[in-house]
Chains A and B, each alone.
Chain A
Amino acid sequence: MSELKFSEDHEWILVDGDIGTVGITEFAQEQLGDVVFVEVPDEGKDLEQGDEAAVVESVKAASEVLAICDGEVIEGNEALVDEPSLVNSAPMGDGWFYKVKITDASQLEELMDEAGYKTFIEGQG
């Protein structure tokens, strides 16, 4: 049984057991505009919540993707290196950034569910 959660930094994590797949939301990709470069974390990298996990650059600006929770990266999405525009076309699908082995599941409890996130971005106007 997998579960989708959202952060206030406009990231999502799809949790399946102790494995999470992380990406940025539709709202975030719209704000960024045309994505031209993505740097994903290497396999084996230890992340602490709030660390810089990935870099995403649009035509105009560079942004950091912060680690949504503690864990060890088990895979970075290499497809984004060759085709960064997947972040724009499929932010919640093929445009995922990395998979992580979650080490502190309690951090996920602070995240929002889909309805909560929807309310949150409405407040961001």
Chain B
Amino acid sequence: MSEDLKKTPLYDLHVELGAKMVPFAGYSMPVQYPAGIMTEHKHTRASAAIFDVSHMGIVRLMGENAISALESLLPADLENLAENSIRYSFFTNDDGGILDDLMITKVPGGLSLVINAACKDADIAHIKSKIGDQVEVEVEYDNALIALQGPKSVDVLARFDARCADMKFMTFMTLEIDGVNCQVSRSGYTGEDGYEIAIPADKAVAIVRRLLDESEVEVAGLGARDSLRMEAGLCLYGNDIDTTTTPIEAGLLWAIQKRRRAEGGFPGDDIILKQITDGAPRRLVGILPEGRAPLRPGVEIANAEGEVVGKVTSGGFGPSVGGPIAIAYVASDYKTPDTAVNALVRGKEMPCKVVKMPFEQKSYFRG
């Protein structure tokens, strides 16, 4: 099963550091290092950790039509996005479902997108077929992408380039790290302050080693990345959102800016705008079990009468919460925080309550 797996520029370093490598979206990726998921997770919240996210795709859309062209595929307001600012968005389909979620940065002369590894090829095909005649599509293959996450990230990175401290969350800048120009965003998917750093592939190992030399920094794998984003209440494509879920059901209305709500003009706009007005039949909510048994994806949620009213899409143990947490779709009647529900695990009813996400409060730098 492993012959055809792709390797990131940091593969050899992961192996050297003792990572347990697993197949993920066609890549061999570190799920954890010898410290373990629990320790890696807590270290990220307390200090700083490096994650390899090179499997994600970087695509640039260049040309004067880039903004209007991309706006025809998704509901973000890009006209009002300032240069070097970043916005979270998602490609929608005609049914109002989500094809992928992504980060969009306004760069000189166009837009830079970071897309999910598993959707990379489909996204690029989608972009080329729908707007390939309006923009120049450049796929970036020569970079490693790392995420430096955690409250100490700023102190660490400032030792290399002090300008990073003034960057606001969701902005972009070219910084010089150890003599190398790197494309840096103050962003991440852990619920912590931090940076995502694109490094020329041939310089990536050296720079990661330099960062790991700093006393605050440890490595962390996909396992910790997943538990961190779950605690932060952030959706994972393929689990919490996919082609069958609308942004309104997923609680992503905040990512559809006012102008787009008024004007529409994206795939599935009729369905999505109608749900904004009338409400969605189901909603993504946080689920906090009273007991200690983790709820895994697929676990059914029932009401007091035993009727199934929802299903878990992400779930496990939250190391910072200190107990099990889950994310689930429930019928809208059950979306209010503190609603009592039962999770059906191995034929037993486990009492839970609906909670507001995030499970762990974020600390982003807003300037």
Residues in A lying within 8 Å of B, measured CB to CB: 33-34, 36-37, 39, 55, 57-62, 81, 84
Contacts and interface: CB of A to CB of B under 8 A. Distances in A.
B317 A59 contact: yes
Nearest to B224: A59
Given A57-B317, A59-B317, A37 B37 contact: no
10 contacts: A33-B32, A33-B37, A57-B293, A58-B37, A58-B317, A59-B38, A59-B317, A60-B31, A60-B37, A62-B296
Contacts of B223: 33, 59-60
Interface residues of B, number: 18
Contacts of A84: 292
Given A55-B346, A58-B317, A60-B226, 11 more contacts: A34-B36, A37-B293, A39-B346, A59-B38, A59-B227, A59-B316, A60-B37, A60-B223, A61-B296, A62-B294, A84-B292
Contacts of B319: 59
Task: Determine the main DSSP class of B at the interface with A.
Answer: mixed
Interface of B: 31-32, 36-38, 41, 223, 226-227, 292-294, 296, 316-317, 319, 324, 346
A82 B346 CA distance: 20
Nearest first, the 7 A-B pairs at minimum CB distance are A36-B317, A34-B38, A59-B37, A59-B317, A60-B223, A57-B294, A34-B36
Nearest to B226: A60
Contacts of A39: 293, 346
B296 A37 contact: no
B225 to A, nearest CB: 11
Contact of B317 (A37, A55, A81): A37
B31 A37 contact: no
A124 B50 CA distance: 30
Nearest to A30: B20
Contact of B36 (A33, A37, A62, A81): A33
B231 to A, nearest CB: 12
Contacts of B31: 60
B153 to A, nearest CB: 23
Contacts of B346: 39, 55
Contacts of A60: 31, 37, 223, 226, 316
A58 B319 CA distance: 11
Contacts of A58: 37, 317
Contacts of A34: 36-38
Nearest to A57: B294
A62 B297 CA distance: 11
B287 to A, nearest CB: 16
B24 to A, nearest CB: 12
Contacts of A81: 292
B222 to A, nearest CB: 9
A59 B324 CA distance: 9
A60 B294 CA distance: 10
B324 A37 contact: yes
Contacts of B324: 36-37
A91 B35 CA distance: 18
Nearest to B34: A30
A97 to B, nearest CB: 16
A107 to B, nearest CB: 25
Given A55-B346, A59-B227, A37 B38 contact: no
A30 to B, nearest CB: 9
